[in-house]
C-alpha cells in the first residue's frame, strides 16, 4: 500500500469536518500571507538593486562623461512656446 496515495484522516470522536476545514483554511491563509511577504521582499530587493545600478551609471556620467559612450538624452521639447 502506497502511503502517498492514502487519504484517510485520523479524527477524534469530538472532531468534525468543519473543524478540519477551519484548520485547513487557517493554514492556507497563513501560507498565502507568507508567499505575499516573500514576493514583496523580492520586489523590494530588485528595486533596490536597479536603483543602485542606475545611481552608479549616473555618477559615472557626472564624474567622467567622456568614458561613457552616450550621455543622458534630454527631451528636445523642453518648452511649450
Report which DSSP code applies to 14: T
The verdict on residue 6 lying in a domain is no
What is the Cα–Cα distance from 64 to 50, expressed in whole angstroms? 21
Q: Exposed, middle or buried by CB within 10 Å (0-12, 13-18, 19+), for 31?
A: exposed
Say yes or no to pLDDT of 26 above 90.
yes
Average pLDDT, the chain: 75
The verdict on residue 43 lying in a domain is yes
Say yes or no to pLDDT of 75 above 70.
no
The verdict on residue 38 lying in a domain is yes
The verdict on residue 53 lying in a domain is yes
Q: pLDDT tens digits, residue range 36-47?
A: 999 999 988 888
Per-residue model confidence (pLDDT) at position 81? 47
Amino acid at each position: 500500500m502506497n502511503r502517498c496515495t492514502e487519504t484517510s484522516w485520523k479524527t477524534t470522536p469530538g472532531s468534525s469536518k468543519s473543524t478540519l476545514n477551519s484548520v485547513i483554511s487557517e493554514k492556507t491563509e497563513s501560507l498565502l500571507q507568507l508567499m505575499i511577504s516573500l514576493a514583496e521582499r523580492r520586489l523590494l530587493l530588485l528595486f533596490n538593486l536597479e536603483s543602485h545600478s542606475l545611481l552608479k551609471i549616473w555618477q559615472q556620467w557626472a564624474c567622467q562623461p567622456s568614458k561613457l559612450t552616450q550621455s543622458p538624452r534630454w527631451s528636445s521639447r523642453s518648452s511649450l512656446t
